[in-house]
Amino acid sequence: MSKFLIVGLGNIGEEYAHTRHNIGFDILDFLAKEHDLKFRPDRLADVAELKYKGKQLILIKPSTYMNLSGKAVNYWLQAEKIAIENCLVLVDELALPFGKIRLGPKGSDGGHNGLKNIQEVLGTTAYPRLRFGISNEFGKGAQVNYVLGKWNDEEKKTLNDRIKIAADAVKAFAFAGLARCMNEFNTK
């Protein structure tokens, strides 16, 4: 059975729950609910396992805080003996319009501290990621408050639909591969 590590980036703690920066956690929570899974606390992360069409997906929500996500990613890649190309990182993206999804095999950190730490720890930028657009609708000097803020009423109207599409993309990544997944979901 092929194994995949699916990493939802976010910050632990109630004050960060359901903020734009925690979209990675929210996508994994959606997947877990959809498949009746429960996350359990484990080393450096909350973990759940999803068996899907002959594939095993290890879902992790790092408990290291965003800026130290690489520690959890590296540990779980090693512990589960998963190749880096079978690791998908779910992350918020300011450079994309709200709800837009972009999958890719590699890329820069784009100023994202979670991605920056993963790259430092793994020593590479070549790992798949799913970027979820949170847009950049904030004034000068307000980026931190915006990213750590809650979704506005307009965004909430379609947020669950967009999260479902991202969750479907996660399953497609494991089942069909990154290239086919990119063709299908980067246009939605």
The residues assigned a catalytic role are: 21
**Are the beta carbons of 4 and 173 closer than 8 angstroms?**
yes
Lookup: tokens for 65: 């805080």
- Determine the residue type at 155: E
The runs of H, that is alpha helices, within the chain are 23-34, 69-79, 113-122, 143-147, 153-176, 178-185
Q: Report the C-alpha gap between 108 and 180 in whole angstroms.
A: 22
Closest CA to 114 of 164, 77, 61: 61
Q: Report the C-alpha gap between 118 and 122 in whole angstroms.
A: 6
Q: Report the C-alpha gap between 184 and 11 in whole angstroms.
A: 29
Q: At what angle do helices 153-176 and 178-185 cross, to 10 degrees?
A: 150
**Residues near 128 by Cβ (< 8 Å), separated by ≥ 6?**
85, 87, 88, 89, 103, 104, 105, 106, 173, 178
